[in-house]
Amino acid sequence: MAYFKDQKKLKAVTFSYDDGTTQDIRLIELLNKYNLKCTFNLNSELLGQRGILIREDQRVSHYKIFPEDVKYVYDGHEVAVHTLTHPHLPEIADEKEIIRQVSKDRENLSELVGYDVYGMAYPGGGINNDDRVAEIIKNNTEIRYCRTITNTDSFDPQTNLYRFNPNVFHIMEYDRLMEMGKQFVDMKCDTPKIFYIWGHSFEMDLRPDNWIKLEEFFKFISNRDDIFYGTNSEVLL
């Protein structure tokens, strides 16, 4: 029987956050407080850029971590690929450009953090991946898993790691987050199960109580004897 990281635990919780914005710093403080692990997916050619996004009819900061700060900020967690410049990969006809966006980002990030980067999250909303893109990445890069934004109700491990579906879109689906969290905590299992949460830390600034709610969830899901808490690579590979 397979266990997570050679520990006698059949349940694992992992987090994945995209874009590398400065709100990651506050998020990491909370993750560390509750001994949780996360994978952060970065666009290396956008690091250090300053921007504002309009979400829910309000302005939210989209300032990116500076490249020289990446190793320090994400220490203890995992850094993974989000492509160089955040394009919609299924719309790129040129296979070489898809490979460049992924491989060069992996190379840049590996240099910044000082270890080999193997993970990835597909950039963009909507249908941001397909079989063609997944096969290109699998056959032409060093990437070993790719996360989609298509939520699944199942906690079962998935066979296709190049189109790996998460469970819930963090605080933006708070009721689902808590419901699935309670289901996962109460679950008795004899085979491995994975609870995978994803999002963007800048979304925490959209509502006054988002940070409070997220900490409530972290407190609830963390420090349980029968759960392994790891980065995406630690859980999936």
- Look at residue 187 in the predicted model and tell me its pLDDT: 97
What CATH number does residue 194 fall under? Answer: 3.20.20.370
- β-pair partners for 39: 16, 78
Domain count, the chain: 1
Q: What is the pLDDT of residue 3?
A: 75
Output the furthest CA–CA distance in the chain (Å, rounded).
Answer: 50
Quote the pLDDT of residue 2: 64
Nearest alpha carbon to residue 97 among 133, 68, 131 = 133
Q: Which of 68, 160, 62 is nearest to 111 (CA)?
A: 68
For residue 7, the model assigns a pLDDT of 75
pLDDT along the chain (237 residues), means of 10: 76 98 98 98 98 93 98 98 98 98 98 98 96 98 98 97 98 97 97 97 96 98 97 96
Rounded-to-integer distance, Cα 46 and Cα 179, Å: 35
CA–CA separation, 123 vs 230, rounded Å? 22
Q: Which domain range does residue 18 map to?
A: 4-236
Element (DSSP H or E) covering residue 54: strand 52-55
